[in-house]
Amino acid sequence: MTEPTQKTHLYEFHKQTGRMTLFAGFDMPLWYKGIIIEHMAVRKNVGMFDIGHMGRTIINGPESEAFLNYVTTNDVSRLAPLSAHYSTICNEHGGIKDDFVLSRLGPDKFLMVYNASNRKKDFEWLVQNSKSFKTKVEHVSNNIAMFAVQGPKAQQTLQKIADSDLNDIERFKCGWTKLVQTDVFLSRTGYTGEDGFEVFVWDTPLSDPANAETVWNAILKAGKEFGIEPCGLGARDTLRLEAGMCLYGNDIDEDTTPLEARLGFVVKLKKERFIGKDALLKQKTEGVKRKRVGLRMLEKGIPRPHYEIWKSGQKIGHVTSGSFSPVLERGIAAAYIPTEHAVENVTVMVKIRGKLAKAEVVGFPFYDSTKYGYRRQ
């Protein structure tokens, strides 16, 4: 039996203006005007995504920090109130159950935002592992609307309708403010590589999305002078790939460790204990056998998931994410290959529809980070 298709707070807007697609059980916009237009709006100006399909859970109670330190790989004790960090949840074998962003709302209160495809799995895992801690895990996805406003003009766009100075919220910080007189929680995070904010419209049930629509429409209006575009999942995917970010289910899964995925920066092995620590410590000591790398096509053709990677007449791996890069105007991919080949400028072959095409191993992000992305000059 299939579950009924789910909708976000902004479904009516998408249905009227976008090309829809089914993603993780949600009826979502794939694009409105087109993936490339939307992608470039975010790289050059500003774009806005409805990300209400993502899972949102609040963890609250005196032992929340201890619980999260046990169930996630990053160091939660170093997360100050009104700060956010990227992290993973691993299984006992060090395989990634999910990747997510955790925000600390107060000393004992946290908000976790994770993948739509893992909504049920993560919540059950959190509930199950929280039993020996004094903490409460509450699923709030259906009561908080969530958008991402991304791009070099994101701050200017939101500032026009915000009640407070957004300079006060630095990258990976968060805070409360009002947008068009509506209470929102802002987190200076995203999934595009650009500067930008994720906007949480609190206390907005799916059954009464008026507040969410008000804020969404006000942002579109405020961003008009900067060339804002509403953006669908198509551009969300090409943007995160160009930035070198992982997509759960493609680039990472329960059989891939954060060390292989080059997410070692979110694994704090000095922590006393956490699920997956022993396996990850062992892998770190022994060295990883394969690594996630970027591939930039040197010939025509677009690498797609599952395409084989060849080197010196041998199959050495496969593509996990691949697309046309609107900024580079060529094919790019993320792939896992043996550590010995995972070196920048090494040439490999990608088997594209039966033909081998040349690609080179490159670092992340794919774009020139002096020209694009939040570090741009």
Question: Which residues are near another protein by CB under 8 A?
Answer: 19, 30-31, 34-36, 234, 238, 300-302, 304, 323-324, 326, 353
Of 26 and 67, which CB lies nearer to another protein in the complex structure? 26
Report, in Å, the least distance between residue 233 CB and another protein. Answer: 10
In the structure encoding, which two tokens stand for residue 90, read together? 């691993």
Report, in Å, the least distance between residue 97 CB and another protein. Answer: 28
Of 20 and 279, which CB lies nearer to another protein in the complex structure? 20
Mapping DSSP onto H, E and C, the string for 144-185 reads CEEEEEECCCHHHHHHCCECCCHHHCCCCEEEEEEECCEEEE
229 sits in which H/E element: strand 229-231
Of 211 and 238, which CB lies nearer to another protein in the complex structure? 238
Burial 119-130 (b: 16+ CB within 10 A, else e): bebbbebbeeeb
Q: What is the largest CA-CA distance in the chain?
A: 63
**122 within 8 A of 110, measured Cβ to Cβ:** no
Of 69 and 238, which CB lies nearer to another protein in the complex structure? 238
**186 within 8 A of 177, measured Cβ to Cβ:** yes
In the structure encoding, which two tokens stand for residue 340, read together? 């010995």
Task: Give the start-end residues of each E strand in 47-187.
Answer: 47-50, 55-60, 84-90, 96-106, 109-114, 136-139, 145-150, 174-179, 182-187
Provide the residue count of the chain. Answer: 377
Report, in Å, the least distance between residue 312 CB and another protein. Answer: 26
Torsion from C-alpha of 119, 121, 127, 128, nearest 10 degrees: 180
Of 30 and 342, which CB lies nearer to another protein in the complex structure? 30
Report, in Å, the least distance between residue 155 CB and another protein. Answer: 28
Of 55 and 326, which CB lies nearer to another protein in the complex structure? 326
Of 17 and 217, which CB lies nearer to another protein in the complex structure? 17
Report, in Å, the least distance between residue 43 CB and another protein. Answer: 14
**223 within 8 A of 153, measured Cβ to Cβ:** yes
Of 47 and 301, which CB lies nearer to another protein in the complex structure? 301
- If one counts every other C-beta atom within 10 angstroms of the C-beta of residue 177, the result is 19
Rounded Cα gap, residues 339 and 266, in angstroms: 20
Report, in Å, the least distance between residue 318 CB and another protein. Answer: 16
Report, in Å, the least distance between residue 249 CB and another protein. Answer: 16
Report, in Å, the least distance between residue 361 CB and another protein. Answer: 22
Report, in Å, the least distance between residue 42 CB and another protein. Answer: 14
Of 63 and 299, which CB lies nearer to another protein in the complex structure? 299
Residue 39 one-letter amino acid = H
For residue 297, give Cα distances in angstroms to 241, 280, 324, 332: 14, 32, 10, 6
